[in-house]
Structure 1
Amino acid sequence: MTEAFTRQPCDAVLCDLDGVIRFFDHAEVIRLERDAGLTAGSTAAAAFGPENGTALVLGQITKKQWADSIARALAERIPKADARGLADAFTQTPVWVDPIAVALLREAREHCTVVLVTNATTWLDDDLAQLGIADLADDVVNSARVGSAKPDARIYEIAAERARATPDRCLFVDDRQANVETAVRLGMAGVLYRDSEDLRESLRRFCPTANRHSTD
């Protein structure tokens, strides 16, 4: 766990979504890649490469446009039917949420403001509803809606504004080092997430009134 410095308790928890709360099961995609003679990760590279990555998280393409673009990229290497199957499988990948992270954030919300800060898509609201976590946070700052993506500083500033907290009273949790580093530069307490214990410990240290039952 990485932190900025010792400070007074935080008023807000700004938490990443993917890799902290939501996780993707790519087993079927990996199987299809293997069957098509592609190395594992080839579809993800097409999905988040230069043609798609930025446009996706800034809300500039639809889900269909994203899938079509992935299929076109893969069709340069494998038959079109296989490329389409992989594109559809990737954009419909099964997901699951970590119940421990969800429980910790629900408890934290009883004592401080919780805001999800995520590089996501225009259909994120539907995804959260389907997962049963639409009410997990007080607010959601979605890059596809605000036009700024981590690690750009603006999305952090928007999140702090939504939480009605100054940066020095915010705890920021993310599974990517570059995203944490931006938070720390802005004066936030930055925590690099590796597993749910990092979230539990960071809430205990920076939001001491939160998660008190989980640490008894």
Structure 2
Amino acid sequence: MKIIWFDFGGVLSPSIPDLFTSYYLKTGIPPAILQRGMKEVADDMNMGVLTPIEKALITEAEWGARIRQKIALSSPELDLSRAQLEMFGAQWFDGILPNQLMIDLFLKVKAAGLMAGILTNNVVEWEDHWKRVIGISDLADAIVDSCKVGYRKPEAEIFDIAAKQAGVRPDECLLIDDMLENCMAAERSGWRSVHFKESSSVVAEIAQLLQKQEIAL
């Protein structure tokens, strides 16, 4: 193993449910209603829920405007005046703190002499926001972002792109991701993976794996 790839959302960041709850507190939009709006926008394009924006097939402003329309139709009683949906990323990430245990693991991986990368399904207009949240993007040996390469996890192509960008073989890559389907896709591409469920257990699992290579965190 030469490089450990960290997912952003749900690994380096708080959990996805926590992020939706935070957004609800800022805007008054319940998570289920927001998620339904996102899904309806994607359904209109015959795509997965976040595929349109994570592949940069639609701008943040247009995406947010379409979500606003969907929510207004399905939940007309809901006050959307606090929601800056057309500038979604700025409001979504406002006040968000990183998952410090995973940030510390990232730094320990680097200090142990391995490469550490970020492999994320993300959005063009959100780059400054998510990089500000974690504060370590400049230390990454490689960053592969779906909106820049045109593929997103769990598509096989993004794993090939990531390995080539890092200059390593697939079997020298390990992915830490909170989505099991992404971990399974990584393994189909010849990678190893650790399914993120809870920070301390991931730290222990990575330490155990590296111990086999006589590398101590």
Q: TM-score, normalised by structure 1?
A: 0.80
- Out of 8, 20, 28, the residue aligned to residue 11 of structure 2 is 20
Q: How does 1:1-216 map to 2 (within 5 A)?
A: 10-23=1-14, 24=19, 26-29=21-24, 32-33=28-29, 40-49=31-40, 50=42, 51=44, 53-79=50-76, 82-83=79-80, 85-86=82-83, 88=85, 91=89, 92-93=91-92, 94=94, 95-110=96-111, 111-131=113-133, 132-208=135-211, 212-213=216-217
Structure 2 alignment gaps of length 5 or more: none
* C-alpha distance after superposition, 1:14-43 (max 9, x if no partner): 121111011226245167236xxxxx4210
- CA shift, 1:139, in A, is 1.6
Runs of 5+ unmatched residues, structure 1: 1-9, 35-39
Q: Secondary structure at the match of 2:124?
A: coil
Instruction: Name the % identity.
Output: 24
1:43 touches 1:86 (CA, 8 Å); kept in 2? no
Larger deviation, residues 194-203 vs 57-66: 194-203
Range with greater deviation from structure 2 (100-109 or 48-57): 48-57
TM-score scaled by length of structure 2:
0.80
Larger relative contact order (Cα-Cα within 8 Å, sequence gap ≥ 6): 1
**How many angstroms does 1:203 deviate by?**
2.3
CA RMSD of aligned residues (A): 2.6
Q: Which portions of structure 1, spanning 4 or more consecutive aligned residues, are displaced by more than 6 angstroms?
A: none
In 2: Cα distance, 1:171 partner to 1:82 partner: 44
Q: Write the distance in 2 (CA, Å) between the matches of 1:79 and 1:71.
A: 10
Structure with the larger helix share? 2
Shift of 1:177: 0.8
CA offset at residue 104 of structure 1? 0.8
Q: Residues 153, 210 of structure 1: CA spacing in aligned structure 2 closer, same or farther, 3 A cutoff?
A: farther
Deviation at 1:134, TM superposition (A): 2.5
Q: Are the equivalent residues in 1 in contact too, given 2:29–2:78 (CA < 8 A)?
A: no
Question: When the two structures are aligned, how many residues end up with a matched partner?
Answer: 199
Inter-CA distance 188–60: structure 2 relative to 1 (3 Å threshold): same
